[in-house]
A and B are shown apart, each in its own frame.
Chain A
């Protein structure tokens, strides 16, 4: 090899590194969700956390009105922080909130809801994270906003806070015809 040739491996590596870097940018979790946005929420069948009879909950059960699907777990500290915001949303807007209890222990999950309050209409058990894989969940918490037809219109990776609610979720809900209260005024979820 001549002296210039000795630089060839370095050049080749630079190309590989660039591919790795750009590929990595693509995989930025805050950009990737676009994959599900505008697409139908995937089909699923899951058991209810409350153990109530009536069989499995399916995608069809989410249709008919806008719904927030919140992925959470008791082992997730951010979920604890997000929990109060969910309770607040519950008191402000008549939107269904469905929980997906992700890779968690159902006993602990039920205890958590009893202790901290239950913002959810119902909770699904995803103990092995299989549904999470379908949804491309990176980790709890994550929240999907679905329209009445079951399409994903918005996805939040990480906790929902007051700002996300005001800027991203409330306007979308309002656009879908859900009355959204500005303040803490309670609207009966009926």
Chain B
């Protein structure tokens, strides 16, 4: 009975989403205040009913209700409770329910903050989001009902959650990622509302910015978590694979990174408006495209756990309507946004233009690399081709290095135009210092031979140096201290540099050995010695493990590492659990391969310097993006509505 209530409440949420779309868009069109208010109520209603449905499913998991097919397929009575909850988003149907829950939470957040917006804009934004949510909810109800029952043949126990997903990283990775994906629907809705109402001025950009930043911060964390998870859980120590599903999350990230930068120009200078609109539509469209790629199974990958033709076809249709519709609107209406704003070659606008071009080209590279195999197969009628990491790296790395060059200068150029001489004096020694340091690092650290990596190290230092110089200069200036948005930007850029350093150094300095070890045998990589002391049996809650015992000597430090091979009872599948000694400067990584004759084991012993920096940098970027939102000028939104002045905090140019 309870699962049916969950099903019913999702149906009610769908009805409310349609009502919200009709009242919001219709009310704004004909200017009916009552209808527009109804759109807000419908928004909260959707949130309440989706949350009810979600709680019902959580309850089914926690109480082991295996008469619910989705629970039976993805849980087991022996599963630890925290995984019973996270098993909810362990497969397609529940993920989709989580997705709609997050969607309604974003909508409610917009509605709560909506008092600062003109009613017509708020109603349109909520209407568009209601329309999108209605699309997701009907997708759920038509093709992916998580409340479906296995009656009268309810199984006695469930098939268990995929052991790969029984892990902390996987509890938090999908919600973060979805919060990012779905969060871009806010910028999307603002863009559509702007196009519909014709209001595309600086205020429009200012409304969109905080939402975009926060969604971007979540997506950044989500991607970093996924990468971290792949590193410790998949057992071969890689952190990025250019897997189609990784690419699916990376494309919206690149578009959104371009978007938050071009929104800055649109807000402060009124330039790039058409372009910004397009990016706002693209970021969310790419999120949907990512969902299509993952859910339809058109591209096979380790992630594609739900392969179903009806689902793929539905998403494709949904994409056609949402993206096709919004781009048509863009083509017809965006010319109203064009503004003639001039700026010099050495200006912040120009450098942000370079940033945008590089990011968008990088995004196009990823899109091309992801879809090309599919296009090839379609055109040749079945021949397969695969595009691997070397291809992506060849195009992507130079683009990011070019972006890093600009990133060291761009933020310190003034709007409109900037004197090149003064800047050159300020940054010259940074340039010299980072080149010198890069060469020094290349000479000092044996193994750093590739020019690309030395360049990346130099550029990371270049960004750190120029930002430090500018922070010093801003702090010495008399008068007001820099606004929070400045600190947010600086933090995010430092995060980028930290990730860049981590990627380059890990890539060049890692030692990765797959070796055969017999009990008592030692292996040495540089300062680190691994001694293999055999394998013992170890019981777990829903698995049995074989636990390898390793004694590690790292310079002065001595400690043990115990990687495991786990055999899960319910599914019978075997998982590798790597053991990692995580450090700020290096990770020591051991994972068990296969048992060999005479009690020997195939073992992976890695030393990975600076690998944490990759994710640490991502955390800094996310923090920076969030910090910028706390800036005073967004908090003043509410008061400004009445006065309707368009300039606060920084001079802005009327449209």
- Do residues A77 and B153 form an inter-chain contact, with CB atoms below 8 A? yes
| Chain A residues numbered 70-111 whose CB sits less than 8 Å from any CB in chain B | 74-75, 77, 80, 103-105, 108
- Say whether A9 faces chain B, with CB atoms less than 8 Å apart: yes
**6 A-B contacts (beta carbon < 8 Å):** A16-B367, A19-B374, A20-B292, A21-B316, A27-B312, A128-B571
C-alpha gap A128/B575 in the complex (Å): 11
Residue A6 CB within 8 A of the other chain: yes
Distance in angstroms between the alpha carbons of A19 and B292 in the assembled complex: 12
Complex interface bits, B261-299 against A, C-beta within 8 A gives 1, otherwise 0: 000000000000011001001100100010010001111
Identify which of B282, B292, B327, B571 contacts A127 (C-beta below 8 A). B571
Task: For the complex, give the distance between the alpha carbons of A147 and B322 in Å.
Answer: 49
Stretch at the interface among B4-12, B342-350, B375-383: B375-383
Give residues 1-34 of A contacting B (CB, 8 Å). Answer: 1, 3, 6-7, 9-10, 13-14, 16-17, 19-29
B599 to chain A, nearest CB (A): 21
Q: Are A19 and B378 in contact (CB under 8 A)?
A: yes
User: Closest Cβ of chain A: how far from B151's Cβ, in Å?
Assistant: 10
Contact residues in B for A6 (Cβ distance below 8 Å): 274, 330-332, 334-335
Contacts of B330 in A (CB 8 A): 6, 9-10
Among all A-B residue pairs, the 3 with the closest Cβ atoms: A128-B573, A127-B572, A22-B378
B275 to nearest A CB, angstroms? 8
Could you tell me the distance in whole angstroms from the C-beta of A73 to the nearest C-beta in chain B? 9
Helix, strand, loop or mixed for chain A's interface?
A: helix
With A103-B571, A105-B155, A138-B307 already in contact, the answer to whether A24 and B331 are too (CB < 8 A) is: no
Nearest chain A residue, comparing its CB with the CB of B278: A9
Which chain B residues border A17 with CB–CB below 8 Å? Answer: 316, 319-320, 323-324
Report how far A138 CA is from B572 CA in the complex, Å: 20
B338 in contact (CB, < 8 A):
yes
Q: Which residues of B contact A3 (CB under 8 A)?
A: 335
Q: A17-B319, A19-B375, A22-B378 are in contact. Are A27 and B298 (CB under 8 A)?
A: yes
When C-beta atoms are compared, the residue in chain B nearest to A74 turns out to be: B155
Q: How far is the CB of A187 from chain B (nearest CB, A)?
A: 32
B328, CB-defined interface residue at 8 Å? yes
B319 (CB) vs chain A CBs: closest residue = A17
Contact A20:B327 (CB < 8 A) given known A1-B338, A108-B155: no
B-to-A contact residues, CB < 8 Å: 69, 72-73, 150, 153, 155-157, 159, 274-275, 278, 281-282, 285, 289, 292, 296-299, 307, 309, 312-313, 316, 319-320, 323-324, 327-328, 330-332, 334-335, 338, 367, 371, 374-375, 377-378, 382, 568, 570-574
A146 within 8 A of B: no
Give the Cβ gap from B361 to chain A, nearest Cβ, in Å. 14
Least CB separation from A16: chain B residue: B371
Pick from A10, A19, A27: contact of B327, CB under 8 Å: A10
A105 CB contact (under 8 Å) in B298, B367, B382, B570: B570
Q: Is the CB of A7 within 8 A of B292?
A: no
**Does A125 touch B at the CB level, under 8 Å?**
yes
- Asked if A113 lies at the interface with its beta carbon under 8 angstroms from chain B, I say no
A20 contacts B298, CB within 8 Å? yes
Mask of A27-70 contacts with B, CB within 8 angstroms, 1/0? 11100000000000000000000000000000000000000000
Q: Distance in Å from the Cβ of A89 to the closest Cβ of chain B?
A: 23
- Interface size counted on chain A using CB atoms at 8 A: 35
Please determine whether B571 and A26 come into contact, CB atoms closer than 8 angstroms: no
In the complex, what residues of A have CB within 8 A of residue B324's CB? 10, 13-14, 17
Q: Is A130 an interface residue (CB 8 A)?
A: yes
| Closest partner residue, chain A, to B297 (CB atom) | A27
When distances are taken between beta carbons in the complex, the residues of chain B under 8 Å from A21 are: 316
* Interchain nearest-CB distance for B385 vs A (Å): 13
Q: Shortest Cβ distance from A83 into chain B, in angstroms?
A: 12
Residues of A within 8 Å of B307, CB to CB, are 29, 138
Chain A positions within 8 Å of B155 at CB level: 74-75, 105, 108
A30 to chain B, nearest CB (A): 9
Question: Contact: A29 with B572, CB < 8 Å?
Answer: no
By CB atoms of chain B within 10 A, which of A26, A80, A105, A108 has the most?
A105
Closest to B382 in A: A26
Chain A: which residue is nearest B367 at the CB level? A16
Known: A75-B150, A128-B572. 14 other contacts (CB 8 A): A6-B331, A9-B281, A9-B282, A13-B323, A17-B316, A17-B319, A23-B371, A24-B298, A24-B313, A25-B378, A28-B309, A77-B150, A103-B571, A138-B307
Expressed in whole angstroms, the Cα–Cα distance for A6 and B378 within the complex equals 28
How many angstroms between the C-alpha atoms of A80 and B459 in the bound complex? 63
The chain B residue sitting closest to A106, CB to CB, is B572
Task: Write the chain B residue with the least CB distance to A18.
Answer: B378
Partner of A104, one of B69, B156, B159, B320: B159
A105/B159 contact (C-beta < 8 A), A20-B316, A26-B382, A128-B573 known = yes
| CB <8 Å contact, B274 and A1 | yes
Contacting residues, chain A, for B153 (C-beta < 8 A): 77, 80
Q: In the assembled complex, which residues on chain A have CB atoms less than 8 Å from the CB atom of B312?
A: 24, 27
Q: Most chain-B Cβ atoms within 10 A of its Cβ — which of A20, A25, A27? A: A20
Chain A residues near B377: list those with CB within 8 A. Answer: 23, 26
B568's nearest neighbour on chain A, judged by CB, is A128
Q: In the complex the two chains form, what is the Cα distance from A22 to B313 in whole Å? A: 11
Inter-subunit contact A13/B285 (CB<8 Å) = yes
